[in-house]
Chains A and B, each alone.
Chain A
Amino acid sequence: MKPAAKIYTAVILLFLFAPIVILLVFSFNASKSLSVMSGSSLYWYRELFRDAETLGAVRNTLLLAISAALISTVMGTAAAVGIHRLRSKYLRAAMDTVTNIPMINPDIITGISLMLMFVFVGRLFGAATSLNFATILIAHITFCLPYVILQVLPKLQQMDTSLPEAAMDLGCTPMRAFLKVEIPEIMPGIVTGLIMAFTLSLDDFVISYFTSGNGFETLPIRIYNMTKKTVTPKMYALSTIIFFVILALLIMSNLIDTAAPVVEKPTRERKIRTAAQKRRIRLAGAIGAVLAVSFIVVMIAGAPKKPVLNVYNWGEYISDGSEDSFNAIKGFETWYEENYGSPVEINYSTFASNEDMYAKLSSGAVSYDVVIPSDYMIARMADEGMLLPLNFDNIPNYQYIGENFRGLYYDPEDLYSVPYTYSFVGVIWDANRVDEADTGDWDLMWNSKYAGDILQFNNSRDAFATAQYKLGLDVNSADREDWNLALQELKLQQPLVKSYVMDEIYNMMESGEAAIAAYYAGDYFTMLDAEADDVDLRFYMPEQTNYFIDAMCIPSCCQNKELAEAFINYMLEEEPAIANAEYICYGCPNSLVYESEEYAEDMGEEAMEILYPDLEHFSELYNSFAYRNLSPDMLGYVNSLWEELKIN
């Protein structure tokens, strides 16, 4: 290569590997931040291996990728052979066109089209769940198939057509001629197709997002659903491990390739060739065996043997054993077996927003036993008959729920829900850059002194609410004019806003990228733990602000109500409740928690003050500031206003 070419190649590689280097480095971060490095440790690797849910997602992703790759390779190879032998020009053109569709259709369309069909067909047959492992597998096979065909077909076209004829001439049946002569000839195409299919399936997020259902969560979906809480360096650690595994595999296969001489020399060729051949065969065999065995192990491990409880919760919204916490999921499984004498398994999946969860549930595509939505969504679901009344005889621990958290507007008769957490929106600010005199109310977020340093919510309801509270408007107004005013206010704010954020807020506030943000109270402490040296984060609550409650409910698609109620009851036990409250860092309506001294000590004084400011008047404040459900008409209107804001 010429020097210029070398330099150019190096620059391109630098570009390609820059983010990889970043995630390698940050996977060793001692703190939770993805943008501020505070000492190195193997902490996140340890965390990763303790995180059963993430490992489960990895398992699911691999299971899906291996199955999709194998099936699409077999079917795609057969299809390529068939297409290659088609004699009719028109049939061929038709096959080519159909094969091209998934490649020239954006994956969002492939995903939506399959989802619409699955849901429609599911409804037609009245299936409880129309989205499950099978549907996501079908979707993955569908988008992998064209890539396999496009790898295999050229190999068939390049192949001398007399090769299979020669084999038949020499005594092979057509089938054996195919197996013994054609398959080895097109093998490179098949292998490339397999690898491509595996890669595509492994990395796919969009199609999985639309077609996954019931408790089958892949890694990309799990990462996407971490958007209310934060993506931790744990994920970087996982990526780092994946990186090195791939690297090792590649180096191994390269070493073996170079060991085999490229040009056979007439002398001594016997020994070299046989040795290299044997080694190659052995390696191929070993890889094949490893794949097959891991596949089977995964299949067996994945097959449910016990009654399964499907829980659908926000991402990062349960104490899952990470960071030395108590594992509430495993805890329930043990507790249930001890108390009821039979084993049970939790199938835990996550969602990114109430609307996300509602879209999945209302499509009838999935079925869950316990869901944990927010208040206004509970009201909506109860209205639409999507929730089952609870049998409180099975939930004796409900007695520990504080008086102030009962009889709230979304469930006035306490029929459908058991409060899980509550919190409120406050303003986080960096004392090193913001003048304390400017703080105290919503005006700070419109203060042009801090233009370019302000973060706003990237979800319509929360963003509009900041404007509505600032203007003293009703956040639940049925008057379009009120919303128009709020939109004008948000448009005024827009030039000052650095970014519309959800989970990105953590990075941005911790690193000093931004100085002012509205977010949920508890999350402030997560940021505090990871703030950079030159950042000094503080928190205050404006007088008018959003209070919200997330509560456990049983949706009407529940398959095992008693088990679901046992789960809800367990979540109110002291140990898991405290663990959850500490993990999530939001306020807890459970008196076993907020009256616990141990808990108060763990959280610290500042946290207790912020999270439990005035419990006496909680229900009053809550009922006046909480979001209510909006009419579908109004929701559509707000959505279109939001789009108007976002296209500016």
Chain B
Amino acid sequence: MRKIIELKNISKAFDGETVLDHISLDIYDNEFITLLGPSGCGKTTTLRIIAGFEQPDEGDVLFLGEDIASLPPHKRNVNTVFQRYALFPHLNVFENIAFPLREKHVPHEEINGKVEEMLKLVALTGFEKRSVTSLSGGQQQRVAIARALVGHPKVLLLDEPLAALDLKLRKDMQQELKGIQKATGITFVFVTHDQEEALSMSDTVVVMSEGKIQQIGTPIDIYNEPQNAFVADFIGESNILNGVMIEDQKVRFSGHVFDCVDGGFGKNEAVDVVVRPEDVDIVPEEKGHLRGVVSSVTFLGVHYEIIVDINNFKWMIQTTDFVDVDEHIGLYIEPDAIHIMKKSKYSGMFGDYSSFSNEFDELSDAEAVEDESL
């Protein structure tokens, strides 16, 4: 696979505040790559640097091997789908899509054909003369995509394009976007803070936090082998505990020594241990590796989400078995359910569910702030 875009050691600060801190990233041909992270992690800035709306303070942006750091947006073979679509309200659907073609002085006959083709791709045939303001959110989204694709860019940048849609529509559009990407073979660089969206659509996920790339990998890698507590917590639910690696395949946490599949750490090295909630089995108290008291139970349809108090550490466990609050239960953990990570600056910040609801609030607050700042 060919590298289309290379970001090398990019840094960027706004008013003295570092937004990107020496990030490097390769983007390949025909890839669906997602930049995932909470608000303020620098994902949108990265996208804007690729599009040319921002200049990096440091580092190089290569496009097919050539430095494009100083190339203005209109000269880059890269198009963007904006968060709120940015459709031109004074132009109708047809003219919005034809906009880049007219800018390039494409002959009239050709424009008709190309626009029709795009409308077909996004299933909006017959909407040519409609005013864009009269369209629904989903339809506007499709027009924005068609407009960005009509010039056949090498790369399509999508800045949280689904954020404004409702849940059902979002799911449909996820599939559709994936389909369009497959059909056109264009590289999609997708920005989102929704980890589920990232996992379900992407070939490659780039997890970012505080201006740094935390991990790059396939969705499965990212989920199963998070590299630090931040990634583990941000992608799915995780119980993250302090542990000590006694030797390869032997780890101690919560006062118990477990068998595991990881190795390569120093003897008695302090580590972070990740156990996914769905990987814990509930067994009678005496049969478990660990014992605890159920402090809350929430019914979520597919399964129950229960919080278990073990030595003052709150575990989250997802189970289809029903247990009662205050019941004493045992937990059983298979060796391959235990994932060992090196200690990082994020250690100890995540993975305890004692303040579950609070943390949730914080997350949604952060999103609200992000929305305002954009």
Which A residues are within 8 Å of any B CB, using their own CB? 160, 162-163, 165-174, 176-177, 181, 184-185, 187, 263-264, 266, 269-270, 273-274
CA distance A266 to B129 in the complex (A): 9
Q: Decide if B84 touches A273 in the complex (CB within 8 Å).
A: no
Q: Decide if B134 touches A263 in the complex (CB within 8 Å).
A: yes
Q: Counting CB contacts under 8 A, is B53 at the interface?
A: yes
Residue numbers in A under 8 Å from B172 (CB-CB):
none
Given contacts A264-B131, A266-B130, contact A170 B103 (CB under 8 A): yes
Closest chain A residue to B103 by CB distance? Answer: A171
CA distance A165 to B87 in the complex (A): 11
Given contacts A162-B82, A163-B88, A184-B88, contact A170 B151 (CB under 8 A): yes
Q: Counting CB contacts under 8 A, is B147 at the interface?
A: yes
Q: Decide if B74 touches A269 in the complex (CB within 8 Å).
A: no
Interface centre among A185, A263, A264 (most CB of B within 10 A): A264
Choice from B80, B83, B104, B131 contacting A169 with Cβ under 8 Å: B80
Residue numbers in B under 8 Å from A187 (CB-CB):
90
CA distance A264 to B72 in the complex (A): 37
Q: List 22 A-B contacts (CB under 8 A).
A: A162-B86, A166-B80, A166-B82, A166-B87, A168-B53, A168-B73, A169-B51, A169-B78, A170-B99, A171-B104, A172-B74, A173-B72, A177-B74, A181-B88, A184-B88, A184-B90, A185-B88, A185-B89, A264-B130, A264-B131, A270-B129, A273-B129
A281 to chain B, nearest CB (A): 12
Q: Decide if B73 touches A169 in the complex (CB within 8 Å).
A: yes
Choice from A166, A171, A173, A174 contacting B151 with Cβ under 8 Å: A171
C-beta contact mask, B52-75 vs A, less than 8 Å → 1, else 0? 110000000000000000001110
Given contacts A185-B89, A266-B130, contact A165 B53 (CB under 8 A): yes
Choice from A172, A177, A185 contacting B90 with Cβ under 8 Å: A185
Top 9 nearest A-B pairs (CB, nearest first) are A170-B100, A166-B86, A162-B86, A184-B90, A171-B103, A168-B73, A162-B82, A169-B80, A270-B129
B128 to chain A, nearest CB (A): 8
18 additional A-B pairs beyond A263-B134, A269-B129, beta carbons within 8 Å, are A162-B83, A163-B86, A165-B53, A165-B73, A166-B87, A167-B88, A168-B53, A169-B53, A169-B79, A170-B100, A170-B147, A170-B151, A184-B88, A187-B90, A264-B130, A264-B134, A266-B130, A273-B131
Q: Decide if A171 touches B82 in the complex (CB within 8 Å).
A: no
Residue numbers in B under 8 Å from A169 (CB-CB):
51-53, 73-74, 78-80, 148
Q: Decide if A171 touches B89 in the complex (CB within 8 Å).
A: no
Closest chain A residue to B80 by CB distance? Answer: A169
Closest chain A residue to B89 by CB distance? Answer: A185
Residue numbers in A under 8 Å from B74 (CB-CB):
168-173, 177
C-beta contact mask, B18-57 vs A, less than 8 Å → 1, else 0? 0000000000000000000000000000000001110000
Residue numbers in A under 8 Å from B147 (CB-CB):
170
Q: Decide if B80 touches A165 in the complex (CB within 8 Å).
A: yes
Given contacts A168-B72, A172-B103, contact A162 B84 (CB under 8 A): yes
Which B residues are within 8 Å of any A CB, using their own CB? 51-53, 72-74, 78-80, 82-84, 86-90, 92, 99-100, 103-104, 129-131, 134, 147-148, 151
Residue numbers in A under 8 Å from B100 (CB-CB):
170-171
B211 to chain A, nearest CB (A): 21
Residue numbers in A under 8 Å from B84 (CB-CB):
160, 162
CA distance A167 to B52 in the complex (A): 13
Closest chain A residue to B15 by CB distance? Answer: A87
Residue numbers in B under 8 Å from A166 (CB-CB):
80, 82, 86-88
CA distance A413 to B89 in the complex (A): 79
Q: Decide if A167 touches B131 in the complex (CB within 8 Å).
A: no
CA distance A230 to B111 in the complex (A): 68
CA distance A451 to B24 in the complex (A): 96
Residue numbers in B under 8 Å from A160 (CB-CB):
84, 86
Q: Decide if A170 touches B83 in the complex (CB within 8 Å).
A: no
Residue numbers in B under 8 Å from A163 (CB-CB):
86, 88
Residue numbers in B under 8 Å from A185 (CB-CB):
88-90
Residue numbers in A under 8 Å from B103 (CB-CB):
170-172, 176
Closest chain B residue to A269 by CB distance? Answer: B129
Q: Decide if B151 touches A165 in the complex (CB within 8 Å).
A: no
Interface centre among A166, A266, A270 (most CB of B within 10 A): A166
CA distance A169 to B153 in the complex (A): 10
Residue numbers in A under 8 Å from B88 (CB-CB):
163, 166-167, 181, 184-185
Residue numbers in A under 8 Å from B148 (CB-CB):
169-170
CA distance A172 to B51 in the complex (A): 13
B312 to chain A, nearest CB (A): 48
Residue numbers in B under 8 Å from A273 (CB-CB):
92, 129, 131
Closest chain B residue to A170 by CB distance? Answer: B100
A185 to chain B, nearest CB (A): 7
Residue numbers in A under 8 Å from B72 (CB-CB):
168, 173-174
Residue numbers in A under 8 Å from B87 (CB-CB):
166
CA distance A169 to B78 in the complex (A): 7
B70 to chain A, nearest CB (A): 14
CA distance A263 to B89 in the complex (A): 14
Closest chain B residue to A173 by CB distance? Answer: B74
Residue numbers in B under 8 Å from A266 (CB-CB):
130
Residue numbers in A under 8 Å from B131 (CB-CB):
264, 273
Residue numbers in A under 8 Å from B83 (CB-CB):
162
Residue numbers in A under 8 Å from B86 (CB-CB):
160, 162-163, 165-166
CA distance A552 to B10 in the complex (A): 82
Closest chain A residue to B91 by CB distance? Answer: A184
CA distance A273 to B129 in the complex (A): 8
